Structure 1
Amino acid sequence: MNLFLRYLPAVATSAALVFAVLPARADGLAELDQFLREVSSAQSSFTQVVTSPKRAKETVARTKTSSGRFEFLRPGRFRFEYTKPFEQTIVADGETLWLYDVDLNQVTARQQKDVLGSTPAALIASGTDLKGLGQAFDLQSAPASEGIEWVDAKPRQSDGQLKSVRVGFRSGQLAELQIVDSLGQRSVLTFADWKGNVPLKAERFRFQPPAGADVIRP
């Protein structure tokens, strides 16, 4: 599954400490809290760069760049449309997560509740408050840099594939996601042309498998 979504959900635990340490000044946690409370929908373009750990005798790490469009509607609906270099569509309709690989003409369908608990998608598109996210992630503000306020998010479940996520906000808008998996692969998503609270309808996030596509339900 796509790097952005393939991490297992975490076991729910107490998030009381998140609020105990939440500072009043503007910082990453405050930006995340405001984003969750005030941004109910959004549209954006994105660029994703995946860097793999260097293999033996490699002098330069291997990278792969892709780009596309992203949009979400709380609670629990989002759409990623990768357009370059290969077409791929990921849609969450509130109940089912659909992954459509155009080249393979293959659709994978999974129950959202089983796969989104501690994914980066939960941080920016499915979560609705810090308390809910704190059940799956240990959330901490990180130092600001280049005008971006950062939040470090580490899954509370330590045996999943996701090692860490860093979420960056600039002027109240989602600016960047940095994702590291347990194998050391790093994915950086940079967002541009951000439009918040746009009038999206639930119908936009419905997905119908194309005629003739293989549909897999693990």
Structure 2
Amino acid sequence: MTYRALALLPLPALIAAAPAMSPDLAKVQAHLSAVQSMTATFSQTDRNGKTLNGTLSLKRPGKVRFQYEKGVPILVVADGNSLWFLDYSVKQKQRLPIKNGPLGVLLDPSKDISGFAKMIPTADPSILSVEVFDRKHPEYGRINLIFEKSAAAPAGLMLRGWVALDAQNNRTTIRLSGQRFNVPISDGTFRFNDPSPSGPRK
């Protein structure tokens, strides 16, 4: 897809008989449970070093919008039921169920992450890295969520972004800034114009 829109790779299903959650993973789970909405600006860098900027709006459960900067004909939006990749330059769209995408970690407040996520050691004790990866389905790729300890953020953690690798090891990095948590966001934020020639407004 053009611009590798946010490298939203499929997520694994929950794994039965998951091991006990580590203290740091429990902190991540507590943060995710405490966030009902979030706004931020984002910077997306692909494997070639090309960077695009935009704004993020997230409302749980199931809604997110990545609005790219002016002049970029791409929109990524989840309307509560499906995740949509919209390319207005070629009038195409692609739909994926939210539960099969990595943003399911951020969008579903009831999701137990212990079955498919693990902590990755970092050199900085103030940074937590959480890897999402299904060994049974390496074709899904993997994604690392990056958190920074912050007393001002829900459950003491600030989501700073993520790094995604697809099955071909193509890397896409998302960096967030200006995060605001649990702010009012209208449901109308997650509506969009269907790029198909006769597509209705969603």
Shorter-normalised TM-score: what interval? Answer: 0.7 to 0.9
1:89 and 2:59 aligned? no
3-state SS of the aligned residue for 2:46?
A: strand
**More strand by percentage:** 1
Q: Deviations over 1:98-136 (max 9, x none)?
A: 3222333x14152x53xx334332222x232452x445x
Cα deviation for residue 88 of structure 1 reads 1.4
1:178 and 2:163 aligned? yes
Change (3 A) 1:157 1:78: farther
How far apart, in 2, do the equivalents of 1:15 and 1:193 lie? 38
Give the TM-score normalised by the residue count of structure 2: 0.80
Where structure 1 has 5 or more consecutive residues not aligned to the other structure, the ranges are 52-61
Q: Deviations over 1:124-162 (max 9, x none)?
A: 2x232452x445xx21112234432111111354153x3
Contact persistence 1:107–1:213 (CA under 8 A): no
How far apart, in 1, do the equivalents of 2:163 and 2:71 lie? 20
1:119 and 2:101 aligned? yes
RMSD of aligned Cα (Å): 2.5
Cα deviation for residue 43 of structure 1 reads 0.4
How many residue pairs get aligned? The number is: 189
3-state SS of the aligned residue for 1:33?
A: helix
Contact persistence 2:127–2:146 (CA under 8 A): yes
Counterpart among 2, 13, 16 of residue 14 in structure 1: 16
How far apart, in 1, do the equivalents of 2:17 and 2:7 lie? 23
1:194 and 2:179 aligned? yes
How far apart, in 2, do the equivalents of 1:152 and 1:159 lie? 13
Give the TM-score normalised by the residue count of structure 1: 0.75
Over the matched positions of the two proteins, sequence identity in percent amounts to 25
Q: Deviations over 1:156-189 (max 9, x none)?
A: 54153x3221111112211020111110101110
